[in-house]
């Protein structure tokens, strides 16, 4: 009875977006389309290669199959080395990240200068890719796992310290206040009131970073920094595609296992 439609004149209009908002959305869309078109035209893409890409892919897969399983025993050692590089690099990064985090957190750093030093270390560490760090440390230490460990540590310090510094900035001040009120030194306040609050973050990000590092150290061999990457690089250069398959499968298994382990450990942190 009463739910008959009101006459048009009485009907109130409703729109999700105002006309100005709609115009802005269309302009943003046009800008995105322009940038995409510009990138494609600037890159001189050789479209001819697309024409036979599927046959090339099928050809490659054919040469990769069947995997040469007899190669597996030869790569066990470099696979283990890869995990060791990731583990040692992460361990060094954890040890270095705590002091850096306390420097880079506004509420624990001594003054503006120390804060800038802390932030500078974060930016330097994070803005350089692990493989580039690998190139630098291969130049310093020569090829081998030591360069890989240093590369992993150098990249991970910034990652860990940034997240721990954020955690330090978010600690509950009441707990800090209570420990301060007992007459404890600043270092003791950090040890007793700040550290317990950020420890779950430190452990969680360290385990997460370790699993990223397992993945990253598997390509460090490309620049001579040890691990399975060296063998992958050599096999590709020798067109030993059946060995490449074995390496890729073995690496995937290890990466999946480390991800599962990392997820499990993180789920148990309280």
Partner 1 sequence: MARANAKAPPEGGVGGERERLRVAGLTKVYPTGKRALDGVDFVIATSGVTAVIGSSGAGKSTFIRCINRLVEPTSGRILLDGVDLVGLDRAGLRAARRRIGMIFQEFNLVERLTVMENVLAGRLGHVGLIDTLRRRFAPADVDAAFELLARVGLDGFHDRRADALSGGQRQRVGIARALIQRPDLLLVDEPTASLDPRTARQIMRLVRELATERATPAIVNLHDVALAREFADRIVAFSAGRIVFDDAPAALDAATLDRIYGGEDWSASAAADDDAPPAAPAVRGRVLGDDAGVAG
- CA gap 126, 137 in Å, rounded: 16
What is the DSSP secondary structure assignment for residue 108, as one 8-state letter?
A: T
Q: Which of 200, 238, 256, 264 is in the footprint of partner 1 by CB under 8 A? A: 200
Q: How many CB atoms lie within 10 A of CB 130?
A: 23
Q: Measure Cα distances from 181 to 105, 107, 188 in Å.
A: 22, 17, 12
List all residues 6 or more positions away from 17 whose beta carbon is below 8 Å from its beta carbon: 25
Candidate segments 30-38, 69-77, 94-102, 196-204, binder of partner 1 by CB under 8 A: 196-204
Which long-range contacts (C-beta less than 8 Å, at least 24 apart) are formed by 13-20? none
Question: What residues have CB less than 8 Å from 141, skipping those under 6 apart?
Answer: 147, 150
Q: Which of residues 136-195 bind partner 1 (CB under 8 A)?
A: 172-175, 177-185, 187-188, 191-193
CB of 176 to partner 1, least distance (A): 9
Question: Nearer Cβ to partner 1, position 146 or 265?
Answer: 265
**Planar angle of CA 74, 156, 187, nearest 5 degrees:** 135
Shortest distance, position 145 Cβ to partner 1, whole Å: 32
Question: 186 vs 238, which CB is nearer to partner 1?
Answer: 186
CB of 188 to partner 1, least distance (A): 5
**Nearest to partner 1 of 92, 184 (CB atom):** 184
For residue 183, give both structure tokens. Answer: 């007459």
Residue closer to partner 1 (CB basis): 142 or 196: 196
Instruction: Between 165 and 171, name the residue whose CB sits nearer to partner 1.
Output: 171
What are the residues binding partner 1 (CB under 8 A)?
Answer: 172-175, 177-185, 187-188, 191-193, 196-197, 199-200
């Amino acid at each position: 009875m009463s739910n008959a439609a009101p006459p048009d004149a009485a009907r109130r209009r409703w729109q999700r977006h105002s006309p100005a908002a709609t115009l802005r959305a269309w302009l943003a869309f046009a800008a995105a389309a322009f940038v995409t078109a510009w990138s494609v035209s600037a890159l001189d893409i050789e479209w001819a290669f697309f024409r036979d890409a599927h046959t090339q892919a099928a050809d490659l897969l054919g040469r990769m199959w069947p995997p040469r399983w007899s190669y597996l025993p030869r790569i066990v050692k470099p696979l283990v080395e890869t995990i060791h590089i990731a583990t040692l690099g992460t361990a060094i990064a954890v040890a270095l990240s705590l002091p850096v985090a306390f420097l880079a957190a506004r509420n624990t750093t001594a003054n503006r200068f120390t804060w800038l030093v802390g932030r500078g270390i974060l930016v330097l560490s994070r803005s350089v890719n692990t493989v580039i760090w690998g190139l630098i440390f291969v130049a310093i230490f020569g090829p081998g796992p030591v360069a890989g460990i240093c590369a992993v540590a150098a990249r991970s310090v910034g990652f860990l310290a940034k997240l721990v510094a954020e955690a330090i900035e978010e600690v509950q001040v009441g707990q800090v206040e209570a420990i301060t009120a007992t007459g404890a030194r600043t270092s003791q306040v950090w040890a007793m009131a700040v550290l317990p609050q950020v420890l779950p973050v430190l452990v969680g990000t360290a385990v997460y970073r370790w699993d990223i590092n397992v993945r990253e150290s598997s390509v460090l061999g490309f620049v001579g920094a040890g691990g399975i990457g060296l063998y992958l690089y050599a096999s590709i250069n020798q067109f030993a595609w059946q060995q490449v398959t074995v390496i890729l499968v073995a690496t995937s298994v290890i990466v999946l296992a480390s991800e599962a382990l990392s997820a499990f450990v993180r789920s148990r942190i309280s």
